[in-house]
């Protein structure tokens, strides 16, 4: 067996399952889960129809590079969304089966396993980054997210000695769990570091279309263009239809950026067997070409967060995020209670599931920055989220005594 597998931690939801083992929730309350970030708004009918209309594609082997039509559709969406100059759809865009598998696979492409490489990961983090680092033969280097910077990672805390070993940096903007969006100054700093030390930046932007301000979140390729970085050197952006279009089961996304890296990534994926179904490609073209359903979806999140956030602010230290569909709440100010105990008791007493923040973080530089916080995914319809919030308020008032 591959010994690197022994370095992997259980996924947060497996830890949550173990935490709840043997706990019988109060049957007075029906179950409500705010634990998993799985979009639960309905899939738009036109996307389902496009999938059904192209089932004949199942009779053909797909190419790893995807169809010209899909790559061009994605390129045009990037140009519209981020104000980019024309992309070369043949070399700068590649369809992938959801951003998750591509985030993992990129590490296998760009890491030299014989070099004692470091992979920079935000902390708290999407656990795929950590697993990708270990299984590529590298070591994750956790950069704690700073509450004073709206939980954006504090890259200034990384030493020059560490940067010299970094081959890949994962950044999530808008962030998971706190929804922080990197600024142009943040990107300028990261690009300067990439130029100096030669590492690749993997920009995870799967939450980019769910936001609460008038201005859409700045994207990685957009930042590079604004800063005059022709060709997006050592930069790969990742996006997905899962959250944007409520199709997590379709497993459709893309990577875009540095053509030289994507050429090697395509070679890796040819052997990896990661081609997208032609039927899914056709449905993806329909989804990327339509913005109205994205606007409608975003409005549902805005209405939901505007109702739920003030309720929870009565009892918890929590703020409206820049973007994304999570609330990142501090719980220890109510009583002497940990995030883990808060989640367990809330489940037992009110049948509401939230995710302990410490499950998303790692002990690094003396702290686990997820400790004493919980992540709440407001992915259900508004009535269910409001009911969950009301139960949490009652629970917190009970804790406060």
Nearest to 316 by CA among 387, 382, 391: 391
Which pLDDT score, from 0 to 100, does residue 67 have? 97
The predicted model gives 364-389 an average pLDDT of 97
Share of the chain above pLDDT 70, in %: 100
Which pLDDT score, from 0 to 100, does residue 269 have? 96
Which pLDDT score, from 0 to 100, does residue 400 have? 85
The predicted model gives 236-252 an average pLDDT of 97
Q: Which helix (H) or strand (E) holds 303?
A: helix 292-313
The predicted model gives 23-36 an average pLDDT of 96
Residues facing 295 on adjacent strands: none
The predicted model gives 159-167 an average pLDDT of 98
The widest CA-to-CA distance across the chain, in whole angstroms, is 64
pLDDT range class, residue 175, cuts 50, 70, 90: very high
Residue 72, pLDDT above cutoff 80: yes
- The verdict on pTM exceeding 0.85 is yes
The predicted model gives 272-299 an average pLDDT of 97
Choose which CATH entry (3.90.1150.10, 3.30.110.40, 3.30.70.3280, 2.30.40.10) describes domain 3-42+293-400.
Answer: 3.90.1150.10
DSSP class per residue in 273-296? T-PPPHHHHHHHHHHHT--HHHHH
CB contact at 8 A, 171 and 196: no
What is the CB neighbour count within 10 angstroms for residue 371? 17
CB contact at 8 A, 339 and 16: no
Mean predicted lDDT score pLDDT of the chain: 96
Which pLDDT score, from 0 to 100, does residue 148 have? 87
pLDDT digits over 88-123, tens only? 999 999 999 999 999 999 999 999 999 999 999 999
Is 168 strand, coil or helix? Answer: strand
The predicted model gives 297-319 an average pLDDT of 97
| Strands of 223-346, DSSP E | 235-240, 253-257, 326-330
pLDDT digits over 344-369, tens only? 999 999 999 999 999 999 999 999 99
Tokens encoding 358: 């410490």
Report the C-alpha gap between 50 and 279 in whole angstroms: 8
DSSP class per residue in 65-80? T--HHHHHHHHHHHHH
Tokens encoding 277: 């179904």
CB contact at 8 A, 181 and 174: yes
Residue 293, pLDDT above cutoff 90: yes
Q: What is the CATH number of domain 59-290?
A: 3.40.640.10
Which pLDDT score, from 0 to 100, does residue 153 have? 94
Angle between helices 127-135 and 99-110 (to 10 degrees): 30
Nearest to 208 by CA among 178, 186, 240: 240
Give me the residue spans of the domains in the chain: 3-42+293-400, 59-290
Supply the DSSP symbol for 317: B
The predicted model gives 65-81 an average pLDDT of 98
């Amino acid at each position: 067996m591959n010994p690197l597998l022994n370095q992997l931690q259980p996924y947060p939801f497996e830890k949550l399952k173990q935490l709840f083992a043997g706990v019988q929730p109060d049957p007075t309350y029906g179950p409500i889960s705010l634990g998993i970030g799985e979009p639960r708004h309905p899939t738009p009918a036109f996307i389902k129809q496009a999938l059904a209309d192209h089932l004949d594609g199942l009779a053909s082997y797909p190419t790893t590079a995807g169809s010209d039509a899909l790559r061009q559709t994605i390129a045009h969406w990037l140009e519209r969304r981020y104000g980019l100059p024309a992309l070369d759809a043949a070399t700068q865009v590649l369809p992938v089966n959801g951003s998750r598998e591509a985030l993992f696979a990129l590490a296998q492409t760009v890491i030299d396993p014989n070099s004692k490489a470091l992979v920079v990961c935000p902390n708290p983090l999407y656990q795929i980054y950590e697993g990708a680092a270990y299984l590529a033969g590298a070591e994750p280097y956790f950069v704690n997210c700073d509450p004073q910077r709206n939980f954006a990672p504090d890259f200034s805390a990384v030493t020059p000695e560490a940067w010299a070993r970094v081959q890949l940096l994962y950044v999530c903007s808008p962030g998971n769990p706190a929804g922080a969006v990197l600024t142009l100054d943040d990107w300028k700093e990261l690009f300067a570091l990439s130029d100096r030390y030669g590492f690749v930046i993997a920009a995870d932007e799967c939450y980019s279309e769910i936001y609460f301000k008038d201005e859409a979140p700045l994207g990685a390729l957009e930042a590079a263009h604004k800063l005059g970085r022709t060709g997006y050197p050592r930069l790969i952006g990742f996006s997905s239809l899962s959250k944007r279009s409520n199709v997590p089961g379709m497993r459709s996304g893309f990577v875009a950026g540095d053509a030289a890296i994507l050429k090697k990534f395509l070679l890796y994926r040819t052997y990896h067997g990661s081609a997208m179904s032609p039927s899914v490609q056709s449905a993806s073209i329909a989804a990327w070409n339509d913005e109205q359903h994205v606007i409608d979806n975003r409005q549902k999140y805005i209405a939901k967060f505007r109702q739920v956030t003030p309720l929870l602010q009565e009892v918890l230290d929590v703020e409206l995020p820049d973007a994304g569909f999570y609330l990142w709440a501090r719980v220890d100010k109510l009583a002497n209670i940990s995030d883990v105990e808060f989640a367990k008791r809330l489940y037992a007493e009110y049948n509401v599931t939230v995710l302990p923040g410490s499950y998303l973080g790692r002990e690094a530089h003396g702290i686990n920055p997820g400790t004493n916080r919980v992540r709440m995914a407001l992915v259900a319809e508004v009535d269910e989220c409001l009911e969950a919030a009301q139960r949490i308020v009652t629970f917190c008032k009970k804790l406060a005594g």
